[in-house]
Amino acid sequence: MSSVVARRCLTRVMTDDDRGVEVAQLQSVMHRILDSLRHVPQAQREYIANALLNLAVSRMVKEEGRTLTASLLMRLGDVVANSDAPPAPERAVDLTHLNG
């Protein structure tokens, strides 16, 4: 059993593999990023989403290659296009299949 402490919550994951632990770690990192963004000056806040997307895509291409990155981004676009609400910032987005 692994425990990951995030700000104002304790995420305890019991799993047979490392996937649950990875989700808990992802949640912890997302909370840290959200906390740090509170210090961005108001004049720069409109650029946060684009800056984070640029950093993420660049890193994905470097680590996973263009083909896998394109596949993941296509599935992410599918989730966004076919969801009634935006993905919750505290949860991992399920990219295991396409809806369309």
Asked whether the beta carbons of 53 and 72 are under 8 A apart, the reply is no
| Tens of pLDDT, residues 41-71 | 999 999 999 999 999 999 999 999 999 999 9
pLDDT higher than threshold 90 for residue 92: no
Asked whether the beta carbons of 13 and 2 are under 8 A apart, the reply is yes
52 lies in the same domain as 30: no
Length of the chain: 100
Q: Rounded distance, CA 28 to CA 90, Å?
A: 9
59 lies in the same domain as 96: yes
Q: What is the pLDDT of residue 89?
A: 67
| Tens of pLDDT, residues 40-49 | 999 999 999 9
The closest of 35, 16, 48, 18 to 90, measured between CA atoms, is 35
12 lies in the same domain as 55: no
65 lies in the same domain as 98: yes
32 lies in the same domain as 47: no
